[in-house]
Amino acid sequence: MRASRGWILTILIVTVLSLTLLAPTFLGDSVPSWWGKLFPDRGIRLGLDLKGGIFLLIGVDSEKGVEQELDSIKDFMNEELKEDKILIKGSSTSDDSLTIQFFSKADLDKAKSVADTNFNEISDIGEDNLSLSFHLKNAYVADVEERAIDQVKQVIENRVAELGLVEPSIQKAGDNRILIQVPGASEKDRQRIIDIIKRSAVLEFKIVSNTGATEETVLAGLGVANPEELEDQGLMLIPGNTGAENEKFFVASADSQVTGESLSGARLTFDEFGKPAVSFSFKGEGASKFGVLTEENIGQRLAIVLDGTIKSAPTIQERITAQGRITGDFTTDEAKDLALVLRSGALPVPVEIEQERTVGPSLGKESIDKGKISMIIGGILVIIFMAFFYRLQGVVADIALILNMLFIMGFLSAFGVTLTLPGIAGLVLTLGMAVDGNIIIFERIKEELRTGKSPLAAIDAGYGRSLWTVLDANITTLITALILFWFGTGPIKGFAATLSIGIISTVFSNVVVARIITNLIYEEKKVPAISI
Amino acid sequence: MELLKPGTRVDFVSKMRPAIFVSIALIIIAIGSLIYHKGPNWGVEFTGGTEIHIKLAKEVSIADIKQTLETTGFPPDVVQQLGLTGDHEYLIRFSPELVKFDQIQDFQTELENIIATNESFKGGSIQRVDYIGPRVGKELIRKAIIAIILGCIGILIYVMIRFELGFALGAVIALVHDTIITLGAISIMDKEFTLALVAALLTVIGFSVNDTIIIFDRIRENMRKSGKLSIRELVNEGVNQTLTRTILTSITVFMVLIPLFIFGGSVIHDFAFTLIVGAIIGTYSSIFIASAFVIFWRERKGSS
């Protein structure tokens, strides 16, 4: 391998590229805004263990889950009894019990038998006068509550993962809380994370009956005096935020035939005016339900309700099955985040942020400072040792080593890897292997010199013969690293990520960078001896 | 500059048989310690619970700390010294059953009170408070073990393709040997097995494989060049030819690890300890386990 222009140019390009990728790490927020469009604008991210981050304690209203469970029992009974033409007189819920009133003893008896076959396992069923009561068993209540928390945790995990933040920590804490720690989040990220986590993202589709600028006008248009009267007609009042001043309130069907649960995907798009919007698509059953809903209501307006507010209400032109679009007054970021929360699913129960603070590094600030200093001491010792032991070649190795560090850091920042202690362990291993690689090559050159070869021939033979030694050692480790990355989680992944990037960069700096620098020094000269 | 006189030849092969007994003894001690201690001393990341790291101004005995803390109404599960004796750093651990998440704040207030008033705690500080929900870590360890086993299979296949089966088995046996003995050392010293140590152990595995391959490569080269020599001579030649490199690389490795071990502070200290043990064992096993296995494999094949 000669020090050809091509190789020198390659090394220069990689160096400049690494420095460019690292600019945000050194300059912080002072990088210009157009930077983010071309390059990653975040620099190297440090993990919770090294830098700390934000800490959010989220309270989960798991009792709401029990309420929903009772509602679904009521709905089930209603549906079942409808087939037998039995009407429910009324119902009420409190804590973990549901009471349904009937008009006659015969109805009650029939209902009791339906209840016994379906809900005996999960609740104590009792009758009193003309009412049937379901009292959920304690174990079942606990189960429902736990499931609600697990679901919330899953949804939050999906959402945070989609934000592209590596290695956040999300865990259950106590009976009805979730603890979220996100590493090194900036002020800008912080608000976004909170917004995304809190978002219920309940998406519903309803048919619009009337609209108006105020509550009174919209009710008057239907000839009702108050919102309660709407309920009897299976309708409800919903605030709207579609951007139209004369449509601040809507009346629409109380039931939603199709909800966000049937979505198969959602993404950012732009409407015909170039404004940000969110397009969504349905899967299987959801698509056919949506088809029925739109087919039956052609010419009517379809309300797209997000978290209790109507975002848009387009007129249905034709039967729609697979695709739809939510337009509204979004910025691009808002639309992107909305698509994200829709994709990751709705929170099954409401959540509330109970505590929010920034936390220090979990390894302890002092530990990190001490670790940093000792690493620097170790690094300097190795650099001095190499220069002392191998003279000029040692200096070449040192330059290659420092460039190697630069490349690794640059690529870590390009891939958005969050650096944690395990990641640093991976880095220590690679740099150790880099020094080892240099030693292997230099010892080989010395051996070749001893056989009487000329300096240039010895360099050639030394690099040539050690090439596969260095490659085999690095490839074996790389294979392990890739497998660890693929199958490992959390810290194992972090270790494997830096190790993989590190090995590739190390092979490049051992085999190419050090070689080219050496050739630049000795090539084309009649050298009597090499400094090694 | 020359470290060893060129042509230096140490007879490693004759020392391989006694070395095997040393290794077997070390493995028995390691496994014995793991059994005696009922497995690794899992850190809070794996067991779940609350972990509080404190730094005091002077040396206080573990028993005293335990006794003082019991007055708070939250008797700790484990109180443990962290780092070196002179650091005066301690780890207080509660199982998730002992202190519920809601009570951590109360305990922290109590602890701050003690630090402010108690004579032996004066001048101390709380370094960090960690709460980890249960069930997080078990999954992690399970996945890590699967990943490592698959990693070994990857090594086995690559080395088999590039070298031959005997080398591949030798490399993996040396790797398992190094992992068990390093785990044993962690267990004997009763170090808390944290995520940092998982990372250290992975590093040891990487180091072990790298070191083994370097020597193997030289043995393979010798086999191609001078096929007439016996496998014992070929291996001994290879180990000797790479001896300078082995020593120099070890020197640079310890140049980094020893400052970390001494000045690294409590957490890094245990991390560096694991790496130092692993580096020593890894270097030793490349010669006395991996290379020895290559001889064993070749001779067995030769005789059959």
> Domain check: are B184 and B78 in the same one?
no
Lowest-confidence segment of A242-246, A352-356, B62-66 by average pLDDT: A242-246
Q: Which among A169, A176, A362, A418 is the top mutation candidate for probing chain B, defined by the most B β-carbons within 10 Å of its own β-carbon?
A: A362
The arithmetic mean of pLDDT across residues B70-94, rounded, is 81
Q: What is the pLDDT of residue B272?
A: 93
> Domain check: are B126 and B152 in the same one?
no
Q: Is residue B2 part of a domain?
A: no
Q: How confident is the model at residue A327 (pLDDT cuts 50, 70, 90)?
A: confident
Alpha-carbon torsion (B73, B76, B80, B83), positive or negative: negative
Strands (E) across B100-221 are located at: 125-132, 192-193
Q: Which among B271, B274, B276, B283 is the top mutation candidate for probing chain A, defined by the most A β-carbons within 10 Å of its own β-carbon?
A: B271
The arithmetic mean of pLDDT across residues B94-103, rounded, is 72
* pLDDT(A236) > 90: no
Gap between the Cα atoms of A137 and A96, Å rounded: 8
Pairing label, strands A351-359, A53-60:
antiparallel
> Domain check: are B69 and B98 in the same one?
yes
* pLDDT(A154) > 60: yes
Burial A36-45, CB ≥16 within 10 A → b, else e:
eeebbebbbb
- B220 CB within 8 Å of a chain A CB: no
> Domain check: are B128 and B167 in the same one?
no
Q: What is the pLDDT of residue B158?
A: 95
CATH number 3.30.1360.200 given to A200-346: yes
* pLDDT(B210) > 90: yes
Gap between the Cα atoms of A429 and A432, Å rounded: 5
CA A506, A510, A512, A516: dihedral to nearest 10 degrees?
140
> Domain check: are B207 and B62 in the same one?
no
Residue A469 and residue B206: Cβ atoms within 8 Å?
Answer: no
Burial A187-210, CB ≥16 within 10 A → b, else e:
eebbeebbebbbbbbbbbbbbbbb
- Please give the CATH architecture assigned to the domain spanning A5-48+364-522: Up-down Bundle (1.20)
- The more confident residue out of B15 and A68 is B15
Q: Which among B94, B167, B210 is the top mutation candidate for probing chain A, defined by the most A β-carbons within 10 Å of its own β-carbon?
A: B210
Q: Closest Cα partner for A342 from A204, A154, A158, A201?
A: A201
**Which residues in chain B are closer than 8 Å to A366, comparing Cβ atoms?**
55, 127, 265
Q: Is residue B4 part of a domain?
A: no
Gap between the Cα atoms of B274 and A170, Å rounded: 29
* pLDDT(A168) > 80: no
User: pLDDT (tens digit, 9 = 90+) per residue, A276-290?
Assistant: 888 888 877 778 888
Q: What is the pLDDT of residue B213?
A: 96
In one letter, which amino acid is A260?
G
Alpha-carbon torsion (A342, A344, A345, A347), positive or negative: negative
**Other CB atoms within 10 Å distance of the CB of residue B39:** 10
Percent of chain A having pLDDT more than 70? 95
**Which residues in chain B are closer than 8 Å to A441, comparing Cβ atoms?**
none
Residue B206 and residue A499: Cβ atoms within 8 Å?
Answer: yes
User: pLDDT (tens digit, 9 = 90+) per residue, B16-69?
Assistant: 999 999 999 999 999 999 999 988 888 877 777 788 888 888 888 888 888 888
Q: Closest Cα partner for B82 from A376, A372, A366, A369?
A: A366
Q: How confident is the model at residue B115 (pLDDT cuts 50, 70, 90)?
A: confident
Q: Is A204 helix (H, G, I), strand (E, B) or coil?
A: strand
* pLDDT(A170) > 70: yes
Q: Closest Cα partner for A119 from A80, A64, A93, A65?
A: A80
Lowest-confidence segment of A211-215, B189-193, B258-262, B295-299 by average pLDDT: A211-215
Q: Among residues B79, B100, B133, which one ends one of the domains?
A: B133
Structure token pair of residue B180: 């068990």
Lowest-confidence segment of A380-384, B55-59, B187-191 by average pLDDT: B55-59
- Give the count of Cβ contacts less than 8 A between chain A and B: 210
Q: What is the pLDDT of residue A524?
A: 67
* pLDDT(B182) > 70: yes
> Domain check: are B174 and B259 in the same one?
yes
Domain harbouring B297, CATH code: 1.20.1640.10
Gap between the Cα atoms of A237 and B223, Å rounded: 86
* pLDDT(A244) > 80: no
Q: What is the pLDDT of residue B133?
A: 64
Give the closest of B2, B102, B206 to A429, CB-based: B206
Gap between the Cα atoms of A189 and A420, Å rounded: 19
Look at chain B and report how many structural domains it folds into: 2
Q: Is residue B163 part of a domain?
A: yes
> Domain check: are B21 and B106 in the same one?
no
- B96 CB within 8 Å of a chain A CB: no
Q: Is residue B243 part of a domain?
A: yes
Strands in A88-94's sheet, in edge-to-edge order, are A88-94, A97-102, A131-136, A123-128
The arithmetic mean of pLDDT across residues B180-191, rounded, is 94
Q: What is the pLDDT of residue A49?
A: 81
Q: CA nearest A378 in B: which residue?
A: B256
Residue A472 and residue B244: Cβ atoms within 8 Å?
Answer: no
Q: How confident is the model at residue A31 (pLDDT cuts 50, 70, 90)?
A: low
Q: Is A94 helix (H, G, I), strand (E, B) or coil?
A: strand
* pLDDT(A222) > 70: yes
Strands (E) across A42-168 are located at: 45-46, 53-60, 88-94, 97-102, 123-128, 131-136
Gap between the Cα atoms of A227 and A115, Å rounded: 33
Q: What is the DSSP letter of B270?
A: H
**Which residues in chain B are closer than 8 Å to A436, comparing Cβ atoms?**
210, 214, 245, 249, 252
> Domain check: are B115 and B264 in the same one?
no
Lowest-confidence segment of A187-201, A373-387, B62-76, B130-144 by average pLDDT: B130-144
Q: What is the overall mean pLDDT for chain B?
A: 88
What is the nearest CA distance from B304 to chain A, expressed in angstroms?
A: 30
- For B32, what's the count of Cα atoms within 13 Å in the CB-facing half-sphere? 6
Q: Closest Cα partner for B159 from B293, B276, B249?
A: B293
Q: How confident is the model at residue A30 (pLDDT cuts 50, 70, 90)?
A: low
Q: What is the pLDDT of residue B174?
A: 97
In one letter, which amino acid is B55?
K
Q: How far apart are the first and last CA of chain A?
A: 20
Q: Among residues B66, B99, B133, which one ends one of the domains?
A: B133
* pLDDT(A54) > 80: yes
> Domain check: are B233 and B292 in the same one?
yes
What is the nearest CA distance from A419 to chain B, expressed in angstroms?
A: 13
Percent of chain B having pLDDT more than 90? 51
**Other CB atoms within 10 Å distance of the CB of residue A31:** 17
Structure token pair of residue B71: 């007055």
Gap between the Cα atoms of A481 and A478, Å rounded: 5
Gap between the Cα atoms of A156 and B248, Å rounded: 50
Q: How confident is the model at residue A42 (pLDDT cuts 50, 70, 90)?
A: low
The arithmetic mean of pLDDT across residues B2-18, rounded, is 89
Q: Is residue B1 part of a domain?
A: no
* pLDDT(A33) > 80: no
Sketch the domain layout of chain A as residue ranges.
5-48+364-522, 200-346
- A37 CB within 8 Å of a chain B CB: no
Domain harbouring B120, CATH code: 3.30.70.2040
* pLDDT(A72) > 70: yes
Q: Among residues B133, B168, B194, which one ends one of the domains?
A: B133
Residue B154 and residue A480: Cβ atoms within 8 Å?
Answer: yes
> Domain check: are B253 and B289 in the same one?
yes
User: pLDDT (tens digit, 9 = 90+) per residue, A427-471?
Assistant: 989 999 999 999 999 999 999 999 999 888 999 999 999 999 999
Q: What is the pLDDT of residue A405?
A: 94
Q: Please report, for chain B, how many H helices and E strands are present, in that order.
A: 11, 6
> Domain check: are B220 and B285 in the same one?
yes
User: pLDDT (tens digit, 9 = 90+) per residue, A506-529?
Assistant: 999 999 999 999 988 887 666 777
Give the C-alpha distances (Å, rounded to integers) separating A224 from A236, A292, B256. Answer: 12, 29, 81
Q: What is the pLDDT of residue A437?
A: 96
Q: What is the pLDDT of residue A526?
A: 67
> Domain check: are B58 and B21 in the same one?
no
Q: Is residue B5 part of a domain?
A: no
* pLDDT(A40) > 70: no
User: pLDDT (tens digit, 9 = 90+) per residue, A390-420?
Assistant: 999 999 999 999 999 999 999 988 887 888 8
The arithmetic mean of pLDDT across residues B75-87, rounded, is 78
- B199 CB within 8 Å of a chain A CB: yes
* pLDDT(A243) > 60: yes
Q: What is the pLDDT of residue B89?
A: 84
Give the C-alpha distances (Å, rounded to integers) separating B133 from A52, A179, B9, B92. Answer: 18, 9, 57, 17
Structure token pair of residue A430: 């690679």
Lowest-confidence segment of A49-53, B144-148, B292-296 by average pLDDT: A49-53
Q: Closest Cα partner for B301 from B175, B167, B171?
A: B167
The arithmetic mean of pLDDT across residues B194-206, rounded, is 89
Q: What is the pLDDT of residue A502?
A: 95
Q: How confident is the model at residue B257 (pLDDT cuts 50, 70, 90)?
A: very high
Q: What is the pLDDT of residue B169?
A: 97
Q: What is the overall mean pLDDT for chain A?
A: 85
Q: Which domain holds residue B122?
A: 49-133
Gap between the Cα atoms of B11 and A152, Å rounded: 65
* pLDDT(A35) > 80: no
Q: Is A418 helix (H, G, I), strand (E, B) or coil?
A: strand
